[in-house]
Structure 1
Amino acid sequence: MFFLQSLFDLTENLLGDSINHFPLIELIFYSLDQALFYFIVWAIGRSLYLFIRKKKQLPIKIRREVILNLFVFYLILLIHLTVFREENSIGNVAVTLRSLDQINWTPFVHTFKLTQGVTLFDYYYNLYGNILWFIPMGFGAAYLTTKRHYFFKTLLLGSVVSFSIETMQFLFHTGVADIDDLIFNTIGTLVGLILFEACQWIFYKVKGIKKKKNQLR
């Protein structure tokens, strides 16, 4: 790790022996560290683009830029958490040809098997983790896409990103391709969409109330 090694060492010394699933903490640290590097590369390119727009006196929406950058960082982090994890990186993975039988095609079979383990941690993480990690997908993509058909566009994007992750996991042999992940990721995207809709409703409701108050003054 380049950015977070010191913080990880401190966390490992404090919690390494007390947390049973500390490898998950290590994975998050590693993924965050990698995501920071690639995000800096993105931020430099984006800054140059905005500089050119400013020179041409083209409009720049600050709030949209903030959401866009958060969303890009989230996507980079998501890819590293699911595909390029541990010792794997974009530079050292290679396509490994395997039988398609190694893909879990039947829904919920693998998830149900996880309930038979020594603990239910893997089951909960597989189920709720796959949903939670894709909630920002639904919220962020809904905000950034055009208003026309944004609901279906966002849901489709979430499914495509999830499918791409499962495909990369299978091709690079860095994870288990599972139909359950695709289902849970799509549910997570849908939850994010619903949250976005709720926030939109609250925003316009509050805006409408303020407008009425101003008219009465």
Structure 2
Amino acid sequence: MVFLQPLFDWIEPRFGETINHFPLVELIIYSIDHALFYFIFWFIGRVIFLAVKKKKKKPIKWRRELILNAFVFYVILLIHLTVFREENSINNVSIVLRPLSEINWIPFVETTKLTKGTSLFDYYYNLYGNILWFIPMGFSAAYLMKKKHFFLRSLSIGIAVSFLIEAMQFLFYTGISDIDDLIFNTIGTIIGIGLFEISQWLYKKWQKKKTT
């Protein structure tokens, strides 16, 4: 790790034995660290782009820039959480040719199997984790796309990112590609879009009340 190794070295001896499923905590810290590393390259490029834009006297919407940068970091983090994890990284993965029959195409079969395991943690994380991780996807995409047909455009982004993750897991053999993940991710995206619409409605109501 580049940035968060000291934090992990502090957390592991104190909580490694007491926190259930500590490897998940380790994965999150690892993924945040790597996401920060790759986000820096995006951020430098974005700053250069904005400097050129400002030089041409074009207006910059700073709130939108904040959301856009958060969205980019979030997508990079998602990819590291799901694809480039443990010993896998962009530098050492390679395409592994496999038959498409290894993909779990039938909905809810694998998720149902998780309910019969020794622990229900995997079931809850697979179901609710896949939904929760994609709620920010729907919310931020809806904010960035808040024009005509923003619901369909935001939903398309969520589905596209989820599909990209499943495809990368399959191509690089770094995870199990499952139709359930795509379904749950889509549900999370829809919830996020719904929360954005509610926030917009509340904001407009507050603005209207403020002016009266």
TM category (shorter chain) comes to over 0.9
Q: What does the per-residue CA deviation read over 1:194-215, in whole Å, with 9 as the maximum and x for residues that have no partner?
A: 0000000000000011111xxx
Q: Secondary structure at the match of 2:143?
A: helix
CA drift at 1:98: 0.9
Structure 1 residue aligned with 2:155: 155
Percent of residue pairs bearing the same amino acid type? 66
Structure 1 residue aligned with 2:200: 200
- The separation in 2 between residues aligned to 1:20 and 1:141, in whole angstroms, is 33
Q: What does the per-residue CA deviation read over 1:164-187, in whole Å, with 9 as the maximum and x for residues that have no partner?
A: 110110000000000000000000
Structure 2 residue aligned with 1:169: 169
CA drift at 1:20: 2.8
Q: What does the per-residue CA deviation read over 1:35-59, in whole Å, with 9 as the maximum and x for residues that have no partner?
A: 0001111111101111111111110
Where do 1:14-33 residues align within 5 Å? 14-33=14-33
User: Does 2:107 match 1:107?
Assistant: yes
Give 1:166's aligned amino acid: E
Give 2:63's aligned amino acid: R
- The separation in 1 between residues aligned to 2:34 and 2:130, in whole angstroms, is 20
Q: What does the per-residue CA deviation read over 1:73-117, in whole Å, with 9 as the maximum and x for residues that have no partner?
A: 101100100111111111111000112121111100100100111
- The separation in 2 between residues aligned to 1:57 and 1:146, in whole angstroms, is 24
- The separation in 2 between residues aligned to 1:9 and 1:113, in whole angstroms, is 36
- The separation in 2 between residues aligned to 1:99 and 1:21, in whole angstroms, is 32
- The separation in 1 between residues aligned to 2:15 and 2:57, in whole angstroms, is 52
Where do 1:62-211 residues align within 5 Å? 62-211=62-211
Hey, which bits of structure 1, 4+ residues long, moved more than 4 A? none
Aligned positions, number: 212
RMSD of equivalent CA atoms: 0.8
Give the TM-score normalised by the residue count of structure 1: 0.96
Give 1:22's aligned amino acid: F
Task: Mark the runs of 5 or more structure 2 residues left unpaired by the alignment.
Answer: none
- The separation in 2 between residues aligned to 1:201 and 1:146, in whole angstroms, is 13
- The separation in 1 between residues aligned to 2:54 and 2:171, in whole angstroms, is 42
Larger radius of gyration: 1
Structure 2 residue aligned with 1:58: 58
Give the TM-score normalised by the residue count of structure 2: 0.98
Task: Mark the runs of 5 or more structure 1 residues left unpaired by the alignment.
Answer: 213-217
Q: Secondary structure at the match of 1:200?
A: helix
- The separation in 1 between residues aligned to 2:108 and 2:146, in whole angstroms, is 34
Q: Secondary structure at the match of 1:98?
A: coil
CA drift at 1:157: 1.1
CA drift at 1:146: 4.4
Give 1:125's aligned amino acid: Y
Give 1:129's aligned amino acid: G
